[in-house]
Chains A and B, each alone.
Chain A
Amino acid sequence: MTMRQRLIDPPAWTALIAVVAVVVVGLFVVPADRLQGQVQRIMYVHVPSAWIAYLAFFITFAASVRYLWRRDLAADRLAASSAEVGLVFTAVAIVTGSIWGKATWGVWWDWDPRLTTTALLLVIYAGYILIRGSIVDRDRRARAGAVIGIVGFANVPIVHFSVTWWRSLHQPPTIVRPGDPTIDHMLLGELLASVLAFSLLFLYLLNRRLELERARDEAEQALLMPS
């Protein structure tokens, strides 16, 4: 891709404009939460990041299953790329959650089950990337990655439902719960728009990461070809 193509890359601009728009609306248009005040606005980054982390690791899981089933290297590339982008969003979710926690609970970190399990998720996928990076053989790297990707995803439901399984300090679900959401409709609209905008950003980053993975495979193939 040339510099000119990069500058007029429509998916990049779409994602960028969407994210900037929801950030501006989240900071200056929608009112602050009546109880939590201004700090609640960080939820427009924290919640989408957490949602995308779940989505990314699910994609890694599904692509890993497909790789083991079909031996499809494209699926392996998708699994690896999604895990890496998901790891970034998990880190963003933890950092923004920590900032919110300091303002609300008075501490940067609390050994709350959901926080702790999200941190575990971060290290599981950091391990996934580390393991993939340490294996030179292409097929072996894909197989090891697929197994860890499948087993690691088994932890994701524990993250999501831990807030229900264990009594915790963390705010209980406000949207995905029985009955009407407890959040104000305007704030809910902004939150859903943020989720959509960050999803576009995720798709763009995933696509770029996939291009890198494809290029890496081509380079490895070229090195293996007899000159």
Chain B
Amino acid sequence: MLGDVAALAMKDVRIELRSPASVAGALTLGLVGLVVTGLAAGPDTARLRAIAPGLAWLSIVYAAITVGERLDRIDRSDDAFAVLWLSVRDRRAIFAGKIMALTLMLWTISLALLGTAVVLLNIDPSPVAVALIPLALIASIALAAGVVVVTSTVGGNSQRVLLLPVALLPLLAPTLLAASQATGALVAGTVDASLPWFGLLAAQAALFGGLGLLTYEHGAALE
């Protein structure tokens, strides 16, 4: 199964590398969000710094939905998903492969956006801010697992552009909250305050991942 997971993840990564529309688009959207919010909220840097973690992670959540939807749409075009579905020994490998690929993409997006926010808002990060790297990884796994579970059930729907954010934003709210709070704490140099949020992120990742493994075969079954 591990070989299938790696091969399926590489397939999605290769698609993205050949036409990097998802990651590039999500990064652009995130940057636009940061800049436009800066203009809308006014030049008060202290206020912008206070909302920056939440804003950055909200952009990353939208990126997760956008990128996850595109991966699912590509799979469903030209009956590619039917081939995929019938060719793997264990269909949970498709779920795990999708999570792995989406995690890699979201990790890239989140580190780039968080780095940009630090520069744009003149934030002097504490030395412990290096812990943002594993934080972004855990949050990316949680986001990817939640997105894959829901896109697999709703992805083929003609109204998915509306349904995916409606279904996903509330489900991913604890992830958004935990990632924002942990980011704020790490940038401020308070490691202790960030630890419970790390735990919540890990719990969300385990929950979505575990439930996804149990339900994927039913939710994503062919028509």
Contacts and interface: CB of A to CB of B under 8 A. Distances in A.
B157 interface: yes
A208 B97 CA distance: 44
B200 to A, nearest CB: 9
B94 to A, nearest CB: 15
A215 B223 CA distance: 24
A134 B160 CA distance: 9
A128 B168 CA distance: 11
A120 B153 contact: no
A123 B173 CA distance: 11
Nearest to A68: B218
Contacts of B221: 143
Interface in B147-177: 149-150, 152-154, 157-159, 163, 166-167, 169-171, 173-174
B27 to A, nearest CB: 27
A143 B167 contact: no
B207 interface: yes
Given A144-B154, A151-B149, A127 B170 contact: yes
Contacts of B28: none
B208 interface: yes
Interface string B98-120: 00000000000000000000000
B174 A130 contact: no
B223 A140 contact: yes
A117 to B, nearest CB: 8
Contacts of A158: 174
A154 B170 contact: no
Interface string A162-193: 00000000000000000000000000000000
A144 B166 CA distance: 14
Contact of B211 (A120, A140, A144, A151): A151
B126 interface: no
B44 to A, nearest CB: 21
Q: How large is the interface on B (under 10, 10 to 19, 20 to 34, 35 or more residues)?
A: 20 to 34
A25 interface: no
B219 interface: yes
A161 to B, nearest CB: 12
A36 interface: no
A14 interface: no
A19 interface: no
B149 A147 contact: yes
Contacts of A151: 146, 149-150, 171, 208, 211, 215
Q: How large is the interface on A (under 10, 10 to 19, 20 to 34, 35 or more residues)?
A: 20 to 34
B218 A127 contact: no
B219 A155 contact: no
Contact of B223 (A124, A137, A146, A148): A137
B167 A154 contact: no
A148 B211 contact: no
Contact of A148 (B153, B158, B159, B208): B153
Contacts of B211: 150-151, 154
A144 B153 contact: yes
A162 B150 CA distance: 24
Interface in B192-219: 207-208, 211, 215, 218-219
Interface in A114-148: 120-121, 123-124, 126-128, 130-131, 134-135, 137, 140, 143-144, 146-148
Interface of A: 68, 120-121, 123-124, 126-128, 130-131, 134-135, 137, 140, 143-144, 146-148, 150-152, 154-155, 158
Given A120-B170, A151-B149, A151-B150, 16 more contacts: A68-B218, A121-B170, A123-B169, A123-B170, A124-B167, A127-B167, A128-B167, A130-B163, A131-B154, A131-B157, A144-B153, A147-B215, A147-B218, A147-B219, A148-B150, A148-B153
12 contacts: A120-B170, A123-B169, A127-B166, A134-B159, A135-B157, A140-B223, A148-B150, A150-B211, A150-B215, A151-B171, A151-B208, A155-B170
